[in-house]
Structure 1
Amino acid sequence: MTDAAPVASAIPKPPARSAGSWALDVLVWGGIAALLLYSIEAVDLANLPQLVTNSDRIQTFAADLLRPDFSDWRLFVAKMWETVQIALWGTFLAVFLGVPLGLAAARNIAPIWVVTPVRWVMNLLRSVPDLVMGLLFVVAVGLGPLAGVLAITLNTAGVLAKLFSEAVESIDKGPVEGVRATGALPLHEIMWGVIPQVAPLWTSFALYRFESNSRSATVLGLIGAGGIGQVLFERMNSFDFNGVSAVVIIVIVAVTLIDMLSQAMRKRLL
């Protein structure tokens, strides 16, 4: 028998970064720090000490908020339920708009002459705030929840279309090529090669936007687009901070329940 030679285990050197990589990091993070310092005056951070100097006002306001008035709880709950329905219909319609837009905006399945204009439309829908769209639809269809539904639909459609297209662009090409090898049409490739891969992500995106829209629908009520926001605006204008506190509590409870329901649906569907 021969003695086995000891195996020398060399300690690997730590990964080294090039000078160019370090310079890029310094440039990026230094630029962010410089931008933050430059923006101090623009965002009025110098008035931050007023949180302490105006403590009497804050204490009075907080004292009213800590004594919620639920005498009109039936009205609050009814309006909150209306807000949830606005968010539900807005998200539902947005998904039907977002699916074809997302497929048409995916560079790996649509030609560039289709992708480019569709992405312009998506950018337009995402860029216009919900409140602006809500004001336009209030003028078009009048005060009420329909204006809120339409505003949420268009804005959410732009957001979901972008998320849907990015999910499509990250799919595995294997299943699509396998469907194509059978002689299937392009529509069949999408149905059997693309949709099964992106359906879980699409479902997650839609549920998340429903949660977000439940809060957005509350804000849309401030411009007369229906829901609990209109009641909140009226209570704030009348300096009924006890009523404001009750409305806020109901909104928090409703959003929490929606979040719990959304998580349960994710576990069930994904």
Structure 2
Amino acid sequence: MTDAAVTTGAIPKPPAKSAGAWALDVLIWGGVLVLLIYSVGDVDLGNLPRLFGDNPTTQLLAGELLKPDFSNWKLFVEKMWETVQIALWGTFLAVFAAVPMGLAAARNVAPVWVVTPVRLVMNLLRSIPDLVIGLLFVVAVGLGPLPGVLAIALNTSGVLAKLFSEAVESIDKGPVEGVRATGASSLHEIVWGVIPQVAPLWTSFALYRFESNSRSATVLGLIGAGGIGAVLFDAMNAFQYRQVSAAVIIVVIAVTLIDMLSQAMRKRLL
């Protein structure tokens, strides 16, 4: 604000974009719009009206889903509990692996010759979908919950390691420098200067991934990796849509309870 504007009390003009900035915005968002229009046919959006039209199959499916059959509710609850255990163990193993990787990938903690290969490993783990990893483990160790646990652990460890490293890179340097001033080693700097600052945030990240993994474990059951997904797959193949509806309701209730529990835990930590 200029001296004249201060003296007269005039409202300064809002900042204006340059012609080059406007051109770049038009190019970016125009390109996105063109891509969306171009891909309408490729993603078959033209058949979307069939979902809401006079389609006997859709009407039958909707009618069956609105009448859930809870005759096998004990099986659904048992398999959902197995799904939660898969997500819990997968998340625990992922956290166990992500803590050292997150510290080794933080540029303000580890040297560049350590950061670079660790970040490459993190990118590899995140880039492979957990369904693909689950299929590989199903072939390796057979059907059951173990492939689901291992698939979630590998995929989630890459995600959490990235989040953990970013949290470490954003810490306040003061506590670390204070620990260093006492003549402590690098390990003591991490234990007493870094971990106390990032522990609540790390816990929040882990709880969020546990919620997400509870849903992922359901999908992994479709490939034989244990949990309620196998029950859903069998019911769908048998056209037992009423049982599919009941199983989905059980899943929604379980995920909602997990979400409420994790929110309560996060509020106590943050």
Question: Which TM-score band (shorter chain)?
Answer: over 0.9
1:4 maps to: none
Whole-Å separation in 2 of the counterparts to 1:140 and 1:35: 41
Please give the alpha-carbon distance, in whole angstroms, between the structure 2 residues aligned to 1:154 and 1:54. Answer: 45
Is there any run of 5+ residues in structure 1 with no aligned partner, and where?
1-6
Partner SS, residue 8 of structure 2: coil
1:163-204 Cα shifts (integer Å, max 9, x gaps): 111111111222212211211111111111111111121111
- Offset, 1:54: 5.1
What CA distance in whole angstroms lies between the structure 2 residues aligned with 1:176 and 1:30?
47
Specify the alignment match of 1:261 in structure 2: 261
Aligned 1:135-146 pairs, distance under 5 A:
135-146=135-146
Partner secondary structure for residue 90 of structure 2: helix
AA in 1 matched with 2:169 = E
Whole-angstrom CA distance in 2 between matches of 1:98 and 1:188: 19
Residue type matched to 1:99 in 2?
V
C-alpha separation in 2, matches of 1:181 and 1:171: 18
Give structure 1 regions of 4+ aligned residues with deviation exceeding 3 angstroms: none
Equivalence for 2:34: 34
Partners of 1:265 and 1:108 in 2: CA distance: 29
Deviations 1:5-58 (A, max 9, x none): xx6312222222222222222222122112212222221212222223453221
Q: Following the alignment from structure 2 to structure 1, what is the Cα–Cα distance between the partners of residues 175 and 31?
A: 44
The CA deviation string for residues 35-88 of structure 1, in whole angstroms up to 9 with x for no partner, is: 212222221212222223453221110110111111111111000000000000
Distance 1:41 1:114 in 2: 46
Aligned-partner residue type, residue 248 of structure 2: V
Mapped to 2, the partners of 1:154 and 1:8 lie a distance apart of 64
Pick which of 167-176 and 57-66 moved more: 167-176
Separation (CA, whole Å) in 1 of partners of 2:23 and 2:177: 43
Residues in 1 aligned to 2:54 and 2:193: alpha-carbon distance in whole angstroms: 61
Quick one: distance in 2 between partners of 1:166 and 1:42?
37
**1:111 matched to 2:144:** no
- The reply to whether residue 190 of structure 1 matches residue 190 of structure 2 is yes
2:226 is aligned to: 226
Find the aligned partners of 1:11 and 1:143 in 2 and give their Cα distance: 70
Q: Aligned residues: percent identity?
A: 79
2:211 maps to which residue? 211
Could you tell me how far apart the structure 1 residues matched to 2:153 and 2:229 are?
18
Amino acid paired to 1:101? M
Distance 2:209 2:226 in 1: 19
Deviates more, 1:182-191 or 1:21-30: 21-30
How far apart in 1 are the matches of 2:34 and 2:178?
A: 52
Structure 2-normalised TM-score?
0.94
Q: Does residue 160 of structure 1 match 2:190?
A: no
State the distance in 1 between where 2:261 and 2:242 align: 29
What is the aligned residue count? Answer: 264
- Residue 72 of structure 2 corresponds to residue 69 of structure 1: no
Give the match for residue 133 of structure 1. 133
SS in 1 for 2:17: coil
Amino acid at match of 1:213: N
Residues 112-121 or 172-181, more deviating: 172-181
- Over residues 87-127 of structure 1, what are the superposed CA-to-partner deviations in whole Å (9 max), with x where a residue is unaligned? 00000110010111111111111111111111111111111
Normalised by the length of structure 1, the TM-score is 0.94
Distance 1:13 1:131 in 2: 54
Unaligned runs of 5+ in 2: 1-6
Change (3 A) 1:54 1:98: farther
Question: What CA deviation, in whole Å up to 9, does each residue of 1:216-256 have, x standing for no partner?
Answer: 00011111111100111111111000100100000000000
- Classify the secondary structure of the residue corresponding to 1:32: helix
